[in-house]
Amino acid sequence: MIGGKIYNDQTTLIKGGYVLTMDRELGDLPHTDVVIDGEKIVAVGPNLEVSSRANVIDARNRIVMPGFVDTHRHTWQTPVRGVLPSCTLDQYFSGMLNNIGIQYRAEDVYIANLMGALEAVNAGITTLLDWSHVNNTPEHSDAAVHGLDEAGIRAIYAHGVPVGNEWWSYSSKKHPEDIRRIRKEYFQSDDQLLTLALAARAPGNTTPEVAKHDWELARDLGIRISVHVGMRLTGVHVNHVLSLHELGLLGPDTTYIHCTDSTDEELDLIAKSGGTASVAPYVEMLMGHGVPPTGRLVARGVRPSLSIDVVSSVPGEMFTQMRTALVQERILAFTETPDIAFAPSLTHRDVLEFATIDGARACALDHKIGSITPGKQADIILLSTDQVNVAPVVDPVATVVISADTSNVDTVFVAGKVLKQNGRLTRIDMPRLLNRLDNARDHLLSNAGVIPKWILTRSDD
């Protein structure tokens, strides 16, 4: 019995796990139970009692923790996974946004978002910000929302502009007004599994007048804003954050992605405004956005979140991002002389917080998710620790950050609903979905003129 209440068959007891609550008041709790009732976490503690009708999960060889939060992913690129594995940012813009992206049909966006969201769930990502800038028609936007909805993930659909250079090169095109229809049709409530944001373009990508229009549009709709800033492109000289400051547009409702080439002054402005940040360290170093600003942000009190960005170039799980963020920031503390000790400050616990509770804050969802705290939504994952790549466990936080991978993600709850169990996604016709994904790949790459010969000559026998 918990608080005088015996829970019933709507209850799940996760029993005896090592619970990483990511709640600094509760801490890390070995041999601990978690009780889920409906959508919510109702109790955390040892030897909790529930009704005999409750569902009981034996978690004695499991790490129990909040699901990961991916604060920036262009989910529409799922069908062309790995197409640009060693590209530069210039090559990404020309190859993806100005070629492959133009080929997308609404049906391609649907299967991309469905399979991309399922990929996230499979990897223990329970919340995803879908930065959708492939809205070539209203039907594309509808398809993106339907794909996320069918996957069952918690998602922020960040509605962006269509692909094409005319939308990104000092554009005078305002954000599509279709976002008003989308708000009314799909997102009348902000207290649901899917919520809405505006995927904005910074001044420099647009004229100042367009930037002001777009920020005012988002604030009129009462939704958050997510914007790329500080990415270094050849021959482009612009200070995105400073320009936003000069236009009076900075605010706590905005998440700034990358910030890799942003000045210290600009990072100070983000901190002063109460804004949040999303760092994608793997892609930032791969494509040459600039040096990930993880430590520079932390020094200003801006705890960054982590994001995947694009599976066209990057693994779609959070384990790689945490490890990359950790080692990249630590090596920046390397000294010029052995007479000064190497003394990095970023730890493995820091990056686990970036991937969970700090991600929830960046989405303004930390009151609902990001920690295993009674009263919050039950977005919870269980990681198997009785597997060769993680056993034996010494420091459970280190096990997650240093050793674990997607194969250890045993169980995934989103709002109390099981989406993955015993290492397998639930209620998914995977062969049918994979066939649709293959068909989308073939259409997109064929029409873009970049399909590999081996795909054209493969046999289906």
The mean pLDDT of 80-88, rounded to a whole number, is: 97
Q: What is the pLDDT of residues 214-270, one digit of tens each?
A: 999 999 999 999 999 999 888 888 999 999 999 999 999 999 999 999 999 999 999
Q: What is the pLDDT of residues 397-450, one digit of tens each?
A: 999 999 999 999 999 999 999 999 999 999 899 999 999 999 999 999 999 999
pLDDT recorded at residue 8: 57
| Residue 2 clears pLDDT 70, i.e. is over it | no
Between vectors from CA 238 to CA 226 and to CA 359, what angle results, nearest 5°? 25
Say how far apart CA 322 and CA 328 lie, in whole Å: 10
The two three-digit tokens of residue 266, written as one number: 């600009």
pLDDT recorded at residue 5: 54
Q: What is the pLDDT of residues 371-403, one digit of tens each?
A: 999 999 999 999 999 999 999 999 999 999 999
Between vectors from CA 183 to CA 178 and to CA 189, what angle results, nearest 5°? 175
pLDDT recorded at residue 268: 98
| Residue 196 clears pLDDT 50, i.e. is over it | yes
pLDDT recorded at residue 205: 95
Q: What is the pLDDT of residues 312-341, one digit of tens each?
A: 999 999 999 999 999 999 999 999 999 999
Band (7; pLDDT cuts 50, 70, 90): low
pLDDT recorded at residue 461: 47
The mean pLDDT of 35-58, rounded to a whole number, is: 95
The mean pLDDT of 80-91, rounded to a whole number, is: 97
Do residues 287 and 88 touch, judged by C-beta distance below 8 A?
A: yes
Mean pLDDT computed over every residue of the chain? 96
pLDDT recorded at residue 4: 42
Say how far apart CA 50 and CA 8 lie, in whole Å: 7
What are the CA-CA distances from residue 80 to residues 166, 219, 325, 406 (Å)? 23, 34, 25, 20
Do residues 350 and 435 touch, judged by C-beta distance below 8 A?
A: no
Domains of the chain: 11-65+371-425 (2.30.40.10), 68-362 (3.20.20.140)
pLDDT more than 90, % of the chain = 94
The mean pLDDT of 192-199, rounded to a whole number, is: 98
The whole-angstrom distance between residue 128's C-alpha and the CA centroid of its chain comes to: 4
pLDDT recorded at residue 457: 86
pLDDT recorded at residue 23: 98
- Burial zone of 447 (CB within 10 Å; 0-12 exposed, 13-18 middle, 19+ buried): middle
